[in-house]
């Protein structure tokens, strides 16, 4: 069976990406399947650079077709922070809760209308020979005033979708997976993956 490596050790991200990749007849692997691999340092200036580095590095080290994403939250009033530091916004080893609480503290005096934000996702696809392509997805919303909901991870409990008046964490997988930044980027990436498999079958 054809194999596709998702360049992550995050099981929650694997689960979400695997759901979004439904329909592709492929065995999904993650970096956990290659315990001897060195950690890939995400030192890019933006999401795209990090995604490309992860995908091309993992593909060369494993010889597998690899998909990697880098995504995060950009808050307008904070000058697009936390950005590439989304997962470590509250410091090295930060938990989702600590990151969320720091964001709430920084926005404590900011009115709702000025709490606009977006989730951004860049996806890169590579094989051992090099980069095949990249895609991008964006989902706009507003940062709420308190943590709400239990689904998902990261900033999902704070990210309010105005159309529903609820956070991603309250809306759950069925709705989130049809409108998220990762869904939009992966929808385009699926075409690249299928094209690659057709070309190399």
Cα 49 to Cα 122, 137, 142: the distances in Å are 9, 15, 26
Q: What is the pLDDT of residue 200?
A: 86
Chosen CATH of 3-199 out of 1.20.120.530, 1.10.150.530, 3.90.950.10, 3.20.20.70: 3.90.950.10
What pLDDT, on a 0 to 100 scale, did the predictor assign at position 88? 93
Catalytic entry in 22, 43, 70, 127: 70
Strand 130-143, strand 27-30: pairing: unpaired
**pLDDT mean by block of 10 residues, the chain; 201 residues:** 89 77 84 91 93 97 95 97 95 94 97 97 96 97 96 94 96 89 92 90 76
Sorted by where each begins, the domain ranges of the chain are 3-199
Torsion of CA 89, 91, 97, 99, to 10 degrees: -20
Residue 70 annotated as catalytic: yes
Please report the pLDDT score of residue 20 as a whole number.
73
pLDDT at site 61? 96
Q: According to the model, what pLDDT value does residue 45 have? A: 92
């Amino acid at each position: 069976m054809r194999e596709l490596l998702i360049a992550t050790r995050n099981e929650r991200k694997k689960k979400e990406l695997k759901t979004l990749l439904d329909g592709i007849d492929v065995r999904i692997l993650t970096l956990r399947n290659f315990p001897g691999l060195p950690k890939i340092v995400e030192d890019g200036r933006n999401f795209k650079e990090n995604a490309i580095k992860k995908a091309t590095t993992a593909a060369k080290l494993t010889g597998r077709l690899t998909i990697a994403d880098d995504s995060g939250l950009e808050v307008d009033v904070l000058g697009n922070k936390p950005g590439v530091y989304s997962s470590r916004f509250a410091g090295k080893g930060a938990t989702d809760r600590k990151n969320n609480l720091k964001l709430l503290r920084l926005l404590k005096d900011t009115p709702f209308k000025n709490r606009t934000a977006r989730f951004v996702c860049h996806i890169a696809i590579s094989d051992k020979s090099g980069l095949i392509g990249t895609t991008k997805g964006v989902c706009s919303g507003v940062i709420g005033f308190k943590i709400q909901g239990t689904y998902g991870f990261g900033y999902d409990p704070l990210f309010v979708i105005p159309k529903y008046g609820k956070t991603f964490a309250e809306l759950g997988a069925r709705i989130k997976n049809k409108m998220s930044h990762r869904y939009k980027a992966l929808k385009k990436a699926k075409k690249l993956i299928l094209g690659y498999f057709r070309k190399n079958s």
